[in-house]
Amino acid sequence: MRPATSICALGLIGLMLASCASAPSYPEPQGSNGQILVDLKGEPKEGVTGPKRREVREDYSTRRESIEKGESFERVDYSDLPDVVVVVDGAPARAAAPSASELEINDDGFSRGQLIAVKAGASAQFTLRNARGSSVHLYGFNAADGSFESEVGAGSLGTVKVSNPGRYDVYCDEDESLHCILFVVESAAWIGDSEDGAFFNDLPPGEYEVTVYPPRLPEWSKKVKVVAGKRTTLTAELTVNNLPKVGK
Amino acid sequence: MTNKMRKLPLLGVALALTVLATAAIKAQLAPSHLPDPLYTKSATFEDGDWKWADSKKGTVKGTVSFSTRRPQQPIVVYLVKLGTDEKAGEQGLYDVPDMIEVSQQGGKFEPSFAVLVRKQKVKFLNDEEKEISHNVYFLGDIEADLGIFDQGESREHDFEEAGEVSVHCSIHKRMDAKFYVAPNPAFAVLEADASSFEIKDVPAGKYKLHTWQKQKRFKDFETTVEVTDAGTTDVTVEMAR
């Protein structure tokens, strides 16, 4: 095989592997139920193309000491926003993947910005892994004054139970700089990186409201009709571009 | 006694009845959110507005108790005239504090926390020393986008509505700040571990006292207080779970 042919063949294999990795396969809809696939499309602010050369060279600071000083020019990666929560209101709740309800606290802070806990029975629960050298006391409130608090010992794994559904701001007594958001849901919910897309299978036909909660960005919401034996695909724009323009 | 003289007392009674009836009708038509009792001298009531400057004023002094450890974070205690909507423009005419400036140097908002009064203006400065663009947008009770501005540029915004505002830059992932926009000038900020407060120059009347917490650790407290002319009203705020 000539070198040029080898390079072409390798390139083709690489492309095939890349396409396999980037396009997750979903089961086909079956029976009398339907599916929803939410494509999560992060869009940077209009007019922002990329870091300027000088910014990249001198100021694209992600070093820990710079961050601690409050100096950071690390950019938002709109191609892969982490910990995006998608809730299908009205759809039957199912146990979320275990990783969706895990939070770790270590020397760098919380391991994630958002997590979900699906309410089954009287309460929902999430697990807290304390990787710090001393015990931590976590607490949270939702808008309706629902609350929880829990203490987990150094190096231990704890289970935190929450009674009321809602969106909770979660804080830590020992380190007040920490903050994450817990969604306690009674409907079908998903959490993941935006490049994956949120897939909901086996939904009874009917009308649902899909709401997307990306960290630090406006919520996105749309009503959708699920039809038996069909997959309904939506594209959620995760962006500030639709906010009212103000200022002078 | 002439007939005319005999009719005079009757005319007087009729006149008094007319004055009383007019006053009663006016009282019925008066907007319910006006200060009670009405101490204002020259306020214009047609628009439902009243002037803080023209009101007789008192003071609210308070102590705050906590049922458990409180975060070392600010708490705002604020007053809203009874029967008015804190989100709407029914809080009277008051002197708006001066505009504040928020720096963005080093990729951070400074100050990163501020308590404003409704209608107060904020100027966001891109005062970076190097050629770096920033964006400012708001989420929460006010959702809006100030656009992108380059080094040396600035944007101003009047906060017309009360409430909690998260401030972010859509370009840089760690640029965040928090504002609380108080509905009117009758508020106090309890910094860190402070547990007492004083709100001066409050127009006399009845108010609902509320709390807002930067890191919510307790149920927000509310109670009714009455402010009297040149008086001091003492109140105890109980922050509990």
Comparing A192 with B36, the larger pLDDT belongs to A192
A119 has a pLDDT exceeding 50? yes
Comparing A83 with A145, the larger pLDDT belongs to A83
A168 and A200 inside one domain: no
CA distances from A156 to A105, A110, A114, A178, B137 (A): 11, 15, 21, 19, 39
Give ranges for CATH 2.60.40.1120 in chain B.
35-91+186-241
Residue A202's pLDDT is what?
93
Q: Could you give the maximum distance between any two Cα atoms of chain B, in Å?
A: 99
Give every strand in the sheet of A124-130, ordered side by side: A109-110, A102-106, A124-130, A157-162
Q: Does A17 reside within a domain?
A: no
Residue B1's pLDDT is what?
46
**CA atoms within 13 A of residue B159's CA, in its CB half-sphere:** 34
Domain that holds residue A98: 94-185
State how far residue B220 is from chain A, nearest Cα, in angstroms.
Answer: 8
> For residue B75, which amino acid is it?
I
| Nearest CB neighbour to B155, from listed A58, A139, A248 | A248
Give ranges for CATH 2.60.40.420 in chain B.
95-183
Question: Hey, of B173, B175, B178, B220, which one would you mutate to test binding to chain A, going by the most A CBs within 10 A of its CB?
Answer: B173
- Is B192 near chain A, with CB under 8 Å? no
Per the CB < 8 Å rule, is A45 touching B148? yes
Structure-token pair, residue B127: 């005062």
> Which CATH number is A225's domain given?
2.60.40.1120
Comparing B126 with B51, the larger pLDDT belongs to B126
DSSP assignments along A210-234, one per residue: EEEE-TTS--EEEEEEE-TT-EEEE
DSSP assignments along A122-182, one per residue: TBEEEEEEE-SSS-EEEEEE-TTS-EEEEEE-TT-EEEEEE-S-EEEEEEESS-TT--EEE
Burial (0-12, 13-18, 19+ Cβ within 10 Å), A19? exposed
Q: Over the stretch B116-127, which tens digit does the pLDDT of each residue have?
A: 999 999 999 999
Residue B83's pLDDT is what?
83
- Band (pLDDT 50/70/90 cuts) for residue B40 is very low
Mean pLDDT of A26-54: 84
Q: Does A69 reside within a domain?
A: no
Per the CB < 8 Å rule, is B144 touching A58? no
Q: Rounded CA gap, A186 and A203, in Å?
A: 15
Q: Does A53 reside within a domain?
A: no
- Band (pLDDT 50/70/90 cuts) for residue A53 is low
Residues 6+ apart with CB under 8 A from A49: none
> For residue B207, which amino acid is it?
Y
A135 and A207 inside one domain: no
Residue B20's pLDDT is what?
53
Residue B192's pLDDT is what?
84
Comparing A5 with B78, the larger pLDDT belongs to B78
B225 has a pLDDT exceeding 80? yes
Per the CB < 8 Å rule, is A45 touching B170? yes
Task: Please count the structural domains in chain A.
Answer: 2
ipTM rounded to 2 decimals:
0.85
**Contact call for residues B193 and B69 (beta carbons, < 8 A):** no
A98 and A181 inside one domain: yes
Mean pLDDT of A77-83: 94
B31 has a pLDDT exceeding 90? no
> Which CATH number is A127's domain given?
2.60.40.420
- Is B28 near chain A, with CB under 8 Å? no
Mean pLDDT of B74-87: 90
A158 and A200 inside one domain: no
A157 has a pLDDT exceeding 70? yes
> For residue B90, which amino acid is it?
E
- Is B214 near chain A, with CB under 8 Å? no
Residue A161's pLDDT is what?
94
Q: Rounded CA gap, B241 and B239, in Å?
A: 7
**Pairs across A and B, CB distance < 8 A:** 111
> Could you say which of A160, A185, A210 is where a domain stops?
A185
CA distances from A246 to A34, B147, B152, B236 (A): 42, 8, 19, 40
Per the CB < 8 Å rule, is B172 touching A58? no
Residues of A with Cβ-Cβ distance to B215 under 8 angstroms:
169, 171, 176, 179
A148 has a pLDDT exceeding 50? yes
Q: Does A1 reside within a domain?
A: no
State how far residue A244 is from chain B, nearest Cα, in angstroms.
Answer: 5
A218 has a pLDDT exceeding 90? yes
Residues of A with Cβ-Cβ distance to B72 under 8 angstroms:
176
Radius of gyration of chain A (CA): 21
**Pairing verdict, β A114-118 and B57-66:** unpaired
Question: Hey, of A52, A73, A78, A176, which one would you mutate to test binding to chain B, going by the most B CBs within 10 A of its CB?
Answer: A73
Per the CB < 8 Å rule, is A247 touching B156? yes
Class of the CATH domain delimited by B95-183: mainly beta
Residue A187's pLDDT is what?
94
**Contact call for residues B90 and B48 (beta carbons, < 8 A):** yes
- Band (pLDDT 50/70/90 cuts) for residue A58 is very low
State whether residue B111 is helix, strand or coil: coil
Q: Rounded CA gap, B111 and B158, in Å?
A: 17
Per the CB < 8 Å rule, is A75 touching B143? no
Q: Rounded CA gap, A124 and A183, in Å?
A: 10
A20 has a pLDDT exceeding 50? no
A105 and A180 inside one domain: yes
Per the CB < 8 Å rule, is B216 touching A74? no
Residues A58, A61, A63: CA angle, nearest 5 degrees: 130
Q: Of B134, B113, B227, B123, which is closest to residue B181 (Cα–Cα)? A: B113
Give every strand in the sheet of B163-168, ordered side by side: B113-117, B176-182, B163-168, B134-140, B144-149
Mean pLDDT of A109-123: 93
Tally of residues, chain A: 248
Residues B44, B47, B48: CA angle, nearest 5 degrees: 85
Q: Rounded CA gap, A14 and A207, in Å?
A: 41
**CA atoms within 13 A of residue B64's CA, in its CB half-sphere:** 30
A70 has a pLDDT exceeding 90? no
- State which residue of chain A sits closest to B157, comparing Cα positions: A247
Q: Does A129 reside within a domain?
A: yes
Class of the CATH domain delimited by B35-91+186-241: mainly beta
Average pLDDT, rounded, for chain B = 84
A178 and A213 inside one domain: no
A99 and A160 inside one domain: yes
- Is B123 near chain A, with CB under 8 Å? no
A202 and A161 inside one domain: no
Helix (H) or strand (E) holding B29: helix B3-29
A230 and A153 inside one domain: no
Helix (H) or strand (E) holding B227: strand B222-227
Q: Over the stretch B89-101, which tens digit does the pLDDT of each residue have?
A: 678 889 999 999 9
**Contact call for residues A57 and A158 (beta carbons, < 8 A):** no
- State which residue of chain A sits closest to B147, comparing Cα positions: A245
| Nearest CB neighbour to B145, from listed A71, A216, A246 | A246
Mean pLDDT of B143-172: 95
**Pairing verdict, β A124-130 and A102-106:** parallel
Q: Does A36 reside within a domain?
A: yes
Question: Is the four-CA dihedral A95, A99, A100, A103 of positive or negative sign?
Answer: positive
Q: Rounded CA gap, B132 and B104, in Å?
A: 10
Q: Rounded CA gap, B127 and B237, in Å?
A: 41
